[in-house]
Amino acid sequence: MSKRPRRQNRPPREVELLLEGIAHGGEAFGRHEGKIIFVPYAIPGERVRVQIVREKARWARARLIDVLTPSPDRITPPCPYFGPDKCGGCQWQHIAYPRQLALKREVVVDQLRRLGHVADPPVREVLAVGEPFHYRNHMQFTVAPDGRLGLFRGGSDQVIPVDTCLLMHPLLEEVYTSLEVGWEGLRRVILRAGVNTGDRMVILETDAQEAPELEVDIPVSVVLHRPKKPPFPLAGLPFIREKVGERTFRISSGSFFQVNTWGAEMLVRLVREFLAPRGYETLLDLYSGVGLFGLSLAPDVGLVIGIDASESAMEDAAYNAQAFGLENVALHEGPVEEVLKVLWEPAELAVLDPPRSGAGREVFRHLRRLRVRRLVYVSCDPATLARDVQYLQEFGYQLRVVQPVDMFPQTYHVESVSLWEYGE
């Protein structure tokens, strides 16, 4: 009987590259023997030596071994948990902040051009908001096998225990350093804060059904999240408040809100500027959450129709509308595309802030049916925005301007606000 010969394991290849661009996902890339090679923790313009760790027919992924010619924008990362085989939350701490902004614009332009087939995308320079560190009002920590809290290693589900995170707002930092967790069944700890109000919350996610005993030494709400049960407050209130502009929003433990409060203020300003309401229009606020956009613009329009699938967010939005004294707001709970099916009255304006998966064709088909003439798309992912471009253009919407906003410094993520108008 013949035996199949053993496959010989080839030693990892090392190659030298001149990096020529940045990819969506934060990796720099260069080319070797006609193949594109992606390199994390590098910067376009650098000459580097890398080791190929994964290879396909047309592309490869590599590990950075040495920077032969460093970029003038390369800096020393301030966080001890940043780098290969460490925390994967940040990708760009090694890049000077002004260059981070420039690279994010390149990514938005590239995605719109290649995936959206927009020949000359009208993308403005990226707006910096707030601080490049200590900006997050929302952090999620997972319990490591040793019981400590940590963040996921890049590209894996392994938890790296951390003593702190430089992206956390100081309000959360104080809570994090005072936490003592050793409760069996605890899976995740979520921290939230109202940067402009001082409110703070700890959310405990668990598989256990029993509530733990709790001691709280600082002013903070504590809410228990259990499978198939409503959130249960263990201390304080089941929500925080956050002020954006002249409005103070209630945000429950299960409701979405922007993780960068300074960025949220900028987004509201841009949405108002781009929509340019004249006081009488109907505004569709899709994926409306607690009402950040719709309730902020309600005094500028005739009617706001808010739609969101989250029961928690819709309850917050209803509370907020009443607290603001708004009588021109109608709220509908359910999937956006399903609720739009039953709307028949025309609406002149729309703002949508979909999840990372984007909106999809059906949403834009209904917006055209409802005769929306101007819409603003708030996107947290340039790739899904670029995918939705084909649907917007299919239904006759023209791209006027894209304003990227840096809501997530030190990472490759970038928010954008784009204006679309129907017709030529």
Residue 380 designated active-site = yes
β-pairing verdict for 127-128 and 397-406: parallel
Stretch 88-107: mean pLDDT, rounded? 97
C-alpha–C-alpha distance, residues 237 and 269, integer Å: 30
Confidence of residue 9 (pLDDT cuts 50, 70, 90): low
Whether residue 1 has pLDDT greater than 60: no
Q: Which helix (H) or strand (E) holds 319?
A: helix 311-323
Q: Which residues of 369-388 are buried (b: 16+ CB within 10 A; e: fewer)?
A: ebebbbbbbbbbbbbbbbbb
Residue 211 has pLDDT above 80, yes or no: no
Asked if the model's pLDDT at residue 216 lies above 90, the reply is: no
Task: Please state which architecture CATH assigns to domain 138-240.
Answer: Beta Barrel (2.40)
Q: Which residue type, as a one-letter code, is found at position 275?
A: L
Angle between helix 382-394 and 97-114 (nearest 10) = 30
Task: List, for residues 165-178, the tens digit of each pLDDT value.
Answer: 999 999 999 999 98
All residues at 6 or more sequence positions from 57 whose CB lies less than 8 Å from its CB, including other chains:
none
Q: pTM, whole model, 2 decimals?
A: 0.93
pLDDT band at 217 (very low <50, low <70, confident <90, very high): confident
Backbone φ, ψ for residue 335 (5° rounding):
-55, 135
Q: In terms of pLDDT, which residue wins out, 189 or 424? A: 189
User: pLDDT tens, 345-404?
Assistant: 999 999 999 999 999 999 999 999 999 999 999 999 999 999 999 999 999 999 999 999
Question: Is there a common fold for 11-74 and 109-130+260-422?
Answer: no
User: What pLDDT, on a 0 to 100 scale, did the predictor assign at position 392?
Assistant: 96
Indicate the SS3 state at residue 173.
helix
Determine whether 237 is exposed, middle or buried from the number of CB atoms within 10 Å of its CB (0-12, 13-18, 19+): middle
For 109-130+260-422, give the CATH class. alpha beta
Percentages helix, strand, coil for the chain (3-state, rounded to 5) are: 20, 35, 45
Q: Which long-range contacts (CB under 8 A, 24 or more apart) does 9-17 make?
A: 12/51, 12/52, 12/53, 13/51, 13/52, 14/49, 14/50, 14/51, 14/52, 14/65, 15/49, 15/50, 15/52, 15/62, 16/47, 16/48, 16/49, 16/50, 16/68, 17/47, 17/48, 17/49, 17/50, 17/62
What is the residue-averaged pLDDT of the chain?
93
Architecture of the 11-74 domain: Beta Barrel (2.40)
Element (H, E) at 15: strand 14-18
Instruction: Indicate the domain borders of the chain.
Output: 11-74, 109-130+260-422, 138-240
The catalytic residue among 87, 90, 165, 380 is 380
> Which residues lie below 8 Å from residue 21, measured CB to CB, with a gap of 6+?
28, 29, 44, 106, 110
Work out the number of other CB atoms within 10 angstroms of the CB of residue 296.
24
